[in-house]
Amino acid sequence: MRTVLKGMRAVFDGYTLRSGLDVAVEFGKVVEIGENLKGDEYVILEGKVLYPALVDAHTHLIYAGDRVFELKMRLTGASYLDILKEGGGIRSTVRATVEASDEELISSTLKRIEELKRRGVGAVEIKTGYGISYEQEIRLLKLIHEVSIKTDVIVVPTLLFHVPPEDGDVKGYLKEFFERYEEYAHLIKFVDVFADEGAFGPEETEMILSFYKSKGVPCRLHADEFKPFASRLAAKYGCVSADHLIHTTEENVKALAEAGVMATLCPVTGFFLREGFAPYDLLKEYGVRVALSSDHNPGTAPFLNPFITVLLAVFGYGMTPGEAFAAHTSAAADSLLLNKVGRIEPGSRALMFAMDYTPDELVYRGKVDAVVDFVEL
C-alpha cells in the first residue's frame, strides 16, 4: 500500500525547508519525495508543515524527586559546583532515585517521554547516572529497557559515569564495571562520562574510554561544561560526540574538528545555570557538526520542551531556526547513530509530524506550545 501525503505548505526534510512537494510512504518507510505523486491512498495535510520526528540526543530522564530548592540557592549566590561539592546536586538526586521503587521510576520516566512526544520527539537517549553503585546503575539500565518496551518513542540507552562513588574508591568502582561488562553489554548502546571538575578527572576518563573503546562501544562525553579538558579526550578516543562545550577553547574545537567528533549542545543548561552558551560560531567555523538536545535532568535542565531548546539555540548561539531544527532532527539522529530517523528522504522511517509553523514562524512567534500531530500510517 502506497500512501501519499499531500497538501503541505512545506516539508522540512531534516536539513532544509522545501515547498510544493508530496511524500510517498510504503510499509512504514519514505519511498519518494516529489511533485504530484500518485498513490493507493492519500492523506491531506492542507496548509501544514511536515517534519521528521525530533530526536533528543542527550537526556537524564530517569530519576526521582526534583531540585526546586537548589534553584533558590543558586540564585542567591551558590554555584552548581559548590552545591555538588557539599554533597547536594547530583548526589541528592542519587539518594532520591535509590530510594524510589522501580514502578515509580518507570512511570515518571514514561510521563517525561510523553511530554517530549507532545512536542514532536520521536527518539530519545536516556542515560543512567543517578545510581552510583554497580547494582544501582545496572538497575537503571534494566529500567530504561522496561521503559523502552512500554513506549513507542525510540529509546537509546547510555551508561553514564556521572560522579565517583562517595567512598572515593573510583578504581574499585570502575573495576566492577569492567570485570562484569558481559553481564550488561546487551543493555547499552553508548557509554558517557561527566568529565569535569567535581566529577571524573582526565586520568579516570581515559581509563573508561580506553576500556569501552576496546570493547567496540561508542562513547560520548560531557565535555568542557565547566573546565575545558574533556573534549581533547573525546578527540583522542574518537568519541561520537562531545556534549555541552559551554567553556570550550579554540584549540579544543580544532581537535574535535580534526577527529570528526560531533558537538551535541544543550542550550537550556547554560541558560538555566546562567553559565552562558557554547561558541557555536567557532564550531561552525571549524566545521564541527552540531546537534541539539534537552539535557533534561533535575539539576541543570528541568524543562521538557524541544521548542524551548530551539528558541534558546537561535537566540543564544545565533543559529538560524532552520539550522536549529536540522540540529534537533538529522544531526541529533546521527549523534545517536540512528541514520533512518530525523530526516524525510527515500529509505528513512516514516516517523513524522505535522504542525502549523515553519521553523522561522515558530521561533518568531515563540510558539513553544505549538500543537504537533504525528502522522499515523
Task: Point out which residues bind Fe ion (CB under 5 A).
Answer: 295
Chosen from ligand NIG, Fe ion, none, partner binding at 228 (C-beta under 5 to 8 Å by type): none
299 is a site residue for ligand NIG (CB under 6 A): yes
93 is a site residue for ligand NIG (CB under 6 A): yes
Identify which of residues 13 and 295 has a Cβ nearer to ligand NIG in the complex. Answer: 295
User: Measured at CB, which residue is nearest to ligand NIG?
Assistant: 299
Determine the 3-state secondary structure of 69 from DSSP. helix
225 is a site residue for ligand NIG (CB under 6 A): yes
By CB under 6 A, the residues from 233 to 272 that bind ligand NIG are 269
97 is a site residue for ligand NIG (CB under 6 A): no
Whole-angstrom Cα distance, residue 335 to residue 131?
Answer: 25
Identify which of residues 194 and 317 has a Cβ nearer to ligand NIG in the complex. Answer: 194
Place of cell 567553556: 247
Place of cell 557538526: 289
198 is a site residue for ligand NIG (CB under 6 A): no
Identify which of residues 22 and 137 has a Cβ nearer to ligand NIG in the complex. Answer: 137
Identify which of residues 299 and 316 has a Cβ nearer to ligand NIG in the complex. Answer: 299
Q: Least distance (Å) from ligand NIG to the CB of residue 195?
A: 10
User: Measured at CB, which residue is nearest to Fe ion?
Assistant: 295
Q: Can you spell out the DSSP letters for 248-295?
A: --HHHHHHHHHHT-EEEE-HHHHHHTT-----HHHHHHTT--EEE---
Backbone angles phi and psi of 156, in degrees to 5: -110, 115
Q: Of residues 3, 97, 300, 330, which one binds ligand NIG by CB under 6 A?
A: 300
Identify which of residues 86 and 285 has a Cβ nearer to ligand NIG in the complex. Answer: 86
Identify which of residues 299 and 321 has a Cβ nearer to ligand NIG in the complex. Answer: 299
60 is a site residue for ligand NIG (CB under 6 A): yes
By CB under 6 A, the residues from 277 to 296 that bind ligand NIG are 295
Whole-angstrom Cα distance, residue 240 to residue 221?
Answer: 9
Choices 30-38, 89-97, 184-192, 307-315 (CB under 6 A): range interacting with ligand NIG: 89-97
Chosen from ligand NIG, Fe ion, none, partner binding at 330 (C-beta under 5 to 8 Å by type): none
297 is a site residue for ligand NIG (CB under 6 A): yes
Q: Answer positive or negative: Cα dihedral of 241, 242, 243, 244.
A: negative
Q: Which three cell numbers stand for residue 44?
A: 491531506
Chosen from Fe ion, ligand NIG, none, partner binding at 192 (C-beta under 5 to 8 Å by type): none
Identify which of residues 131 and 299 has a Cβ nearer to ligand NIG in the complex. Answer: 299
Q: Strands 41-44, 2-6: parallel, antiparallel or unpaired by DSSP? A: parallel
Whole-angstrom Cα distance, residue 63 to residue 82?
Answer: 22
Rg of the Cα atoms in the chain: 21
194 is a site residue for ligand NIG (CB under 6 A): yes
Determine the 3-state secondary structure of 305 from DSSP. coil
Q: Where are the alpha helices (DSSP H) in the chain?
A: 68-75, 80-85, 90-99, 102-118, 134-150, 170-179, 181-184, 202-214, 230-236, 250-259, 267-272, 280-285, 306-312, 321-328, 330-335, 359-365
Sequence-distant (6+) residues with CB within 8 A of 5 are 22, 23, 24, 25, 42, 43, 45, 50, 352, 375
Choices 133-141, 182-190, 252-260, 297-305 (CB under 6 A): range interacting with ligand NIG: 297-305
* Interface positions with ligand NIG (CB under 6 A): 60, 89-90, 93, 194, 222, 225, 269, 295, 297-300
